[in-house]
């Protein structure tokens, strides 16, 4: 048996997802693949809980980062103002990407393990009119959850035409997310986290008005592969059952994603999210019993996808990670400029959370307790 991969993405695969990748080679414009791709795009609507036929799903070869490029290259013109709400490394990188394409970025940082405060956000919103506001739904570096629903309400109150875009790479399919009800304009994600598919896909969803902004720019987007104008007709055609070509999709990855989507929608997405909350609560209670603290200090800021865990005084990530591996468990090192070596990250998403028969979560918690014991720590 392989070591259990419990980093915050990529995650463990269900066998059926993995087997779907072994599909025989087929034409990307053949009837069989067109049907699967079109269906997968429609399933994405259900995953983000949107019924608006004018909102647009995109599934493109790439990864989570390509989602940032789509937003930065298409929805903002050089010199336009963007407000980035950051709760860690990935919020900072989203800001870098926007800056790279010429946006004028104002970044609000939460304290380590927290989110920018509502008062700061309101103040920033009152000072300037922003073309868009972005937030990282779950920052994978800290395990901090951001309240998107309230953010959209605050933005709409002061500036109804400002677009609100979420980085949902570490939240889609494990955190509550209601695209239409909340009034979001975009969510970008990837296959390898809570969705439970292999890495290699940029998965995004934009409101009708976001697509309109991308298609009616004053200056053409400074991107070719990441140009939404090139992709919108392709996605529309596939969903309508018509072959279409801009750049070759990966049929094997799409088959895997199709299976993953069907699995996560099979019993309703709400149930799946409730299961992630239950498992996350259990993990947080268990680490508290070990005398350990999560990086996300407030309950309301804690993601249900993962837990970033402070290590005891005198124990470093480089001490504990090899000990975990020797017990068949892989956690990730810290990924934050100021607290990096002092914490580790435990991803409890997807099949490891949903299928309790696997025993992944208890295996990880036991391995953590033992490993810390070997480092001289007593709970
Ligand atoms: N955003 C978040 C929140 C992430 O966790 C990641 C990846 N860990 C990314 C963006 C970038 O995604 P990728 O590594 O797939 O390019």
DSSP E strand boundaries for 34-185: 56-61, 81-86, 104-109, 132-136, 138-139, 144-145, 163-167
Residue 314 DSSP SS3:
coil
Q: What is the mean pLDDT of the chain?
A: 97
- Measured between alpha carbons, how far is 304 from 275 in angstroms, rounded to an integer? 9
Q: Is the CB of 140 under 6 A from ligand 1?
A: yes
Q: Determine the distance separating the centroid of ligand 1 and the alpha carbon of 252, expressed in angstroms.
A: 21
Among 60, 88, 140, say which to mutate for ligand 1: greatest number of ligand atoms within 8 Å of CB.
Answer: 140
Please enumerate in sequence order all residues whose Cβ is within 8 A of that of 241, keeping only pairs 6 or more positions apart, or say none: 34, 35, 38
Among 94, 169, 188, say which to mutate for ligand 1: greatest number of ligand atoms within 8 Å of CB.
Answer: 169
User: What is the reported pLDDT for 379?
Assistant: 82
Confidence band, pLDDT 50/70/90 cuts, at residue 198: very high
Q: Is the CB of 98 under 6 A from ligand 1?
A: no
User: What is the reported pLDDT for 295?
Assistant: 98
Q: Is the CB of 9 under 6 A from ligand 1?
A: yes
Q: Whose CA is nearest to atom 2 of ligand 1?
A: 169
Residue positions counted in the chain: 379
ipTM beyond cut 0.90:
yes
User: What is the reported pLDDT for 69?
Assistant: 98
Q: Which residue has 């099949």 as its token pair?
A: 351
Q: Is the CB of 170 under 6 A from ligand 1?
A: yes
The string of pLDDT tens digits covering residues 311-370 is: 999 999 999 999 999 999 999 999 998 998 999 999 999 999 999 999 999 999 999 999
Q: Is the CB of 50 under 6 A from ligand 1?
A: no
The string of pLDDT tens digits covering residues 48-107 is: 999 999 999 999 999 999 999 999 999 999 999 999 999 999 999 999 999 999 999 999
Q: Determine the distance separating the centroid of ligand 1 and the alpha carbon of 108, expressed in angstroms.
A: 19
User: What is the reported pLDDT for 234?
Assistant: 98
Q: Whose CA is nearest to atom 10 of ligand 1?
A: 64
Q: Which residue has 């980062």 as its token pair?
A: 65
Q: Is the CB of 167 under 6 A from ligand 1?
A: yes
Share above pLDDT 70 across residues of the chain, in percent, rounded to a whole number: 100
Q: Is the CB of 175 under 6 A from ligand 1?
A: no
- Measured between alpha carbons, how far is 258 from 196 in angstroms, rounded to an integer? 11
Q: Determine the distance separating the centroid of ligand 1 and the alpha carbon of 145, expressed in angstroms.
A: 15
The string of pLDDT tens digits covering residues 146-171 is: 999 999 999 999 999 999 999 999 99
* Contact call for residues 116 and 122 (beta carbons, < 8 A): no
Q: Determine the distance separating the centroid of ligand 1 and the alpha carbon of 199, expressed in angstroms.
A: 10
- Measured between alpha carbons, how far is 307 from 33 in angstroms, rounded to an integer? 38
Q: Is the CB of 190 under 6 A from ligand 1?
A: yes
* Contact call for residues 188 and 167 (beta carbons, < 8 A): yes
Q: Is the CB of 169 under 6 A from ligand 1?
A: yes
């Amino acid at each position: 048996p392989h070591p259990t991969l419990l980093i915050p993405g990529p995650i463990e695969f269900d066998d059926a997802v993995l087997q779907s990748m072994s599909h025989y080679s087929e034409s990307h414009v053949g009837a069989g693949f067109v049907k699967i791709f079109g269906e997968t795009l429609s399933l994405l609507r259900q995953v983000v809980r949107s019924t608006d036929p004018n909102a647009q799903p995109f599934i493109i070869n790439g990864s989570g980062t390509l989602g940032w490029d789509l937003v930065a290259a298409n929805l903002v013109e050089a010199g336009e103002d963007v407000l980035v709400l950051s709760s860690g490394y990935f919020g900072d990188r989203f800001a870098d990407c926007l800056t790279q394409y010429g946006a004028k970025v104002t970044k609000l940082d939460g304290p380590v393990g927290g989110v920018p405060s509502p008062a700061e956000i309101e103040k920033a919103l009152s000072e300037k009119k922003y073309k868009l506001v972005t937030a990282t739904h779950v920052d994978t570096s800290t395990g901090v959850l951001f309240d998107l629903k309230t953010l959209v309400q605050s933005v709409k109150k002061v500036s109804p035409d400002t677009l609100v875009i979420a980085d949902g790479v570490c939240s889609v399919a494990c955190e509550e997310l209601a695209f239409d009800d909340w009034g979001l304009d975009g969510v970008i994600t990837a296959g390898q986290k809570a969705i439970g598919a292999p890495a290699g896909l940029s998965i995004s969803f934009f409101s009708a008005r976001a697509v309109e902004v991308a298609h009616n720019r004053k200056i053409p987007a400074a991107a070719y592969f990441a140009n939404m104008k090139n992709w919108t007709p392709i996605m529309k055609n596939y969903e309508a059952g018509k072959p279409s070509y801009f750049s070759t999709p990966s049929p094997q990855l799409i088959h895997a994603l199709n299976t993953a989507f069907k699995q996560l929608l099979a019993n309703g997405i709400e149930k799946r999210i409730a299961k992630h909350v239950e498992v996350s609560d259990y993990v947080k209670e268990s680490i508290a019993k070990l005398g350990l603290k999560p990086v996300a200090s407030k309950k309301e800021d804690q993601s249900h996808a993962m837990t970033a865990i402070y290590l005891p005084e005198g124990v470093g990530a480089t001490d504990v990670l090899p000990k975990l591996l020797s017990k068949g468990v892989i956690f990730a090192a810290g990924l934050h400029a100021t607290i990096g070596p002092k914490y580790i990250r435990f991803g409890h998403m997807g099949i490891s959370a949903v299928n309790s028969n696997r025993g992944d979560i208890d295996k990880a918690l036991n391995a953590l307790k033992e490993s810390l014991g070997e480092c001289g720590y007593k709970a």
